């Protein structure tokens, strides 16, 4: 399915090239790497592409691409501990509202930025198509401003309200929302009820709280002339969703929903020399440890960190830990820390025996594509659901970061690394 969406939509010779605007608002590289191939490929096919993103490609060879950087939005993530926003230990109703208020602030800062203002106030600008990351409804106002059709793009699925808008069936007992961390095959009656409640409440929240609030914001930046945001949103033409059928239950979709899987998986590249040497020489095997770009290893509570360090120190393997700081207090000898690692290429190395992950969708897909078994330690969002899926697929084990002990973590890693299954 890799790139097939784009290949299908854009025949190789570009008979009529379009002016395309892409607005991908959320400051998180794990989301942006799903979108980057879309704007890169569109520009390579001869379309004139303008993109607003916190993670520009900055590739001078892409001459048909104009990137407007909103990198400053990463400061919002630094100020707010995102895992506090979406911790699975607080109730989802409260979490969803907090998450959207957080996104309100990011969206408002982007709309208010000079770069964005120049874009929307430039009367000479014309777009044939607008792609938006459809997490937050305010960006649908761009349809009102530029009078162009919109395609919503998501690095995961949609909430029930999103499926409603495009006329897709939703069924709370069959397709519980990703935020609920239920796995559909095993829903108990109580979970079905919770899912039903959430399904109803999230629609109420969307139509009666979120959209009216976002409409007010849209009017501040796009003027009073635009149609009601809820109407603009309902006019969305298509959705491109990153829902890998391995990870999500298959569901019936209307033709306006296109499922794009594994957009971010790239062919294996050579590792940097030093890493290659380290991994080649680790004949006893290597455990790769990373909690991704949103949770981050440096942010975990001290108690958990001490358990992790103690467990890793007793492993008979080398551990490569994505630790986002120069210093790890009490670093065991068998642990190598790096602030950043080329994850897809590290996972492709034959000496990697296991991957300890927060269970983000992109990391999970990367591990599956490289054939590396997992130990999932989920913190927030869709991670608990993904880890449940990992366990159900038999490609790994899950541990709970709140209750996990040193011995449990150690034995889970060893089991995953040694079990030939
Ligand atoms: C830019 O677009 C033109 C057509 O508009 C196309 O011929 C050319 O190959 C594109 N260049 C790049 C580098 O994508
Ligand atoms: C928008 O930007 C202006 C100046 O750039 C600033 O004074 C104002 O407080 C900002 N408004 C919001 C809501 O951030
Ligand atoms: C919805 O889209 C159609 C076709 O592009 C357009 O004519 C109509 O004005 C749009 N409605 C709103 C509320 O913008």
Q: Which atom of ligand 1 is nearest to the CA of 63?
A: 13
Instruction: Please report which ligand is nearest the Cα atom of 229.
Output: 3
Average pLDDT (182-187) is 69
Q: Which atom of ligand 2 is nearest to the CA of 112?
A: 1
Quick check: 188 pLDDT over 80? Answer: yes
Q: Note whether 344 and 291 are same-domain residues.
A: yes
- Atom 3 in ligand 2: which residue has the minimum CA distance? 112
Q: Note whether 153 and 102 are same-domain residues.
A: yes
Q: Which residues pair with 165 in a beta bridge?
A: none
Quick: pLDDT tens for 104-123. Answer: 999 999 999 999 999 999 99
The answer to whether residue 4 sits within a structural domain is no
Please choose from 129, 165, 235 the residue to mutate so as to test ligand 3's pocket, defined by most ligand atoms within 8 A of CB: 235
Quick: pLDDT tens for 12-56. Answer: 455 578 999 999 999 988 899 999 999 999 999 999 999 999 999
Q: What is the CATH number of the domain that holds 109?
A: 3.40.50
- For residue 1, the model assigns a pLDDT of 47
Please choose from 64, 66, 67, 128 the residue to mutate so as to test ligand 1's pocket, defined by most ligand atoms within 8 A of CB: 64
Instruction: Please report which ligand is nearest the Cα atom of 225.
Output: 3
**285 three-state secondary structure:** coil
Q: Note whether 106 and 240 are same-domain residues.
A: yes
Quick check: 10 pLDDT over 60? Answer: no
- For residue 167, the model assigns a pLDDT of 93
Q: Note whether 254 and 322 are same-domain residues.
A: no
Find all residues with CB under 8 Å of 417, minimum gap 6, and list them: 285, 287, 317, 353, 354, 373
Quick: pLDDT tens for 127-158. Answer: 999 999 998 999 999 999 999 999 999 988 88
Please choose from 101, 112, 115 the residue to mutate so as to test ligand 2's pocket, defined by most ligand atoms within 8 A of CB: 112
The answer to whether residue 266 sits within a structural domain is no
Please choose from 46, 47, 48, 50 the residue to mutate so as to test ligand 1's pocket, defined by most ligand atoms within 8 A of CB: 46
- For residue 135, the model assigns a pLDDT of 87
Q: Note whether 113 and 243 are same-domain residues.
A: yes
- For residue 88, the model assigns a pLDDT of 53
Find all residues with CB under 8 Å of 153, minimum gap 6, and list them: 24, 35, 38, 131, 132, 133, 134, 239, 240, 241
Average pLDDT (308-326) is 94
The answer to whether residue 264 sits within a structural domain is no
Q: Note whether 203 and 106 are same-domain residues.
A: yes
- For residue 30, the model assigns a pLDDT of 84
With the C-alpha atoms ordered 362, 275, 395, 195, is the resulting torsion angle positive or negative?
negative
Q: Which atom of ligand 2 is nearest to the CA of 109?
A: 14
Q: Note whether 341 and 378 are same-domain residues.
A: yes
Q: Which atom of ligand 3 is nearest to the CA of 235?
A: 1
Query: Please, what's the b/e burial string for 349-373 (b: 16 or more CB within 10 A of its CB; e: otherwise)?
Result: bebbbbbbbbbbbbbbbbbbbbebb
8 CA → ligand 1 middle, Å = 19
The pairing of beta strand 286-290 with beta strand 257-259:
unpaired
Last residue of a domain, one of 259, 292, 326: 259
Which has the minimum average pLDDT: 82-86, 204-208, 247-251, 343-347? 82-86
125 CA → ligand 2 middle, Å = 24
Q: Note whether 224 and 279 are same-domain residues.
A: no
Query: What percentage of the chain exceeds 70 in pLDDT?
Result: 93
Instruction: Please report which ligand is nearest the Cα atom of 109.
Output: 2
Quick: pLDDT tens for 318-332. Answer: 999 999 999 999 999
Last residue of a domain, one of 214, 234, 259: 259
64 CA → ligand 1 middle, Å = 6
- Atom 2 in ligand 2: which residue has the minimum CA distance? 112
The answer to whether residue 267 sits within a structural domain is no
- For residue 7, the model assigns a pLDDT of 52
**Mean pLDDT value across the chain:** 89
Q: Note whether 340 and 240 are same-domain residues.
A: no
- Atom 7 in ligand 3: which residue has the minimum CA distance? 147
- For residue 15, the model assigns a pLDDT of 58
Average pLDDT (260-270) is 86
Pocket of ligand 3 (CB under 6 A): 143, 149, 227, 231-232, 235
- Atom 12 in ligand 1: which residue has the minimum CA distance? 44
> pTM of the entire structure?
0.81
Q: Note whether 284 and 232 are same-domain residues.
A: no
Segments forming the whole domain that contains residue 147: 19-259
- For residue 91, the model assigns a pLDDT of 72
Domain count of the fold of the chain: 2
Measure the CA–CA gap between 392 and 271, rounded to whole angstroms: 32
């Amino acid at each position: 399915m890799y790139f097939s969406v784009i290949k299908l939509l854009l025949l190789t010779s570009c008979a009529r090239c379009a002016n395309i605007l892409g607005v991908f608002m959320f400051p998180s590289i794990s989301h942006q790497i799903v979108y980057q191939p879309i704007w890169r490929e569109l520009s390579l096919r001869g379309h004139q592409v303008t993109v607003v993103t916190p993670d520009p490609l900055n590739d001078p060879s892409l001459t048909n691409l104009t990137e407007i950087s909103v990198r400053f939005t990463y400061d919002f993530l630094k100020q707010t501990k995102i895992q506090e926003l979406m911790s699975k230990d607080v109730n989802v109703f409260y979490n969803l509202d907090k998450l959207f208020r957080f996104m309100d602030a990011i969206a408002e800062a982007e709309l208010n930025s000079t770069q964005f203002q120049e874009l929307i106030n430039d009367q000479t600008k014309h777009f044939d198509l607008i792609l938006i990351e459809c997490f937050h409804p305010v960006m649908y106002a761009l349809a009102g401003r530029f009078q162009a059709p919109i395609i919503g793009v998501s690095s995961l699925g949609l909430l029930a309200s999103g499926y409603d808008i495009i006329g897709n069936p939703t069924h709370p007992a069959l397709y519980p929302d990703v935020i609920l961390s239920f796995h559909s095959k095993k829903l108990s009656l109580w979970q079905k009820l919770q899912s039903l409640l959430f399904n109803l409440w999230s629609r109420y929240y969307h139509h009666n709280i979120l959209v009216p609030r976002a409409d007010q914001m849209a009017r501040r930046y796009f003027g009073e002339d635009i149609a009601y945001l809820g109407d603009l949103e309902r006019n969305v033409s298509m959705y491109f969703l990153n829902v890998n059928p391995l990870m999500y239950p298959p569901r019936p979709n209307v033709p306006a929903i296109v499922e794009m899987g594994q957009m971010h998986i790239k062919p294996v590249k050579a590792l940097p020399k030093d890493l290659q040497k380290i991994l080649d020489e680790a004949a006893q095997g290597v455990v790769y440890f990373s909690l991704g770009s949103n949770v981050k290893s440096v942010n975990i509570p001290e108690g958990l960190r001490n358990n992790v360090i103690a467990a890793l120190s007793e492993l008979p393997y080398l551990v490569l830990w994505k630790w986002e700081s120069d210093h790890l207090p009490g670093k065991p000898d068998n642990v190598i820390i790096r602030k950043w690692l080329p994850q897809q290429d590290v996972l492709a190395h034959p000496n990697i025996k296991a991957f300890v992950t927060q269970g983000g969708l992109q990391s999970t897909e990367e591990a599956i594509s490289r054939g590396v078994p997992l130990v999932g330690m989920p913190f927030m969002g869709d991670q608990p659901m993904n880890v449940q899926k990992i366990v159900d697929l038999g490609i790994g084990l899950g541990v709970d970061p709140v209750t996990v002990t040193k011995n449990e973590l150690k034995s889970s890693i060893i089991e995953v690394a040694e079990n030939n299954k």
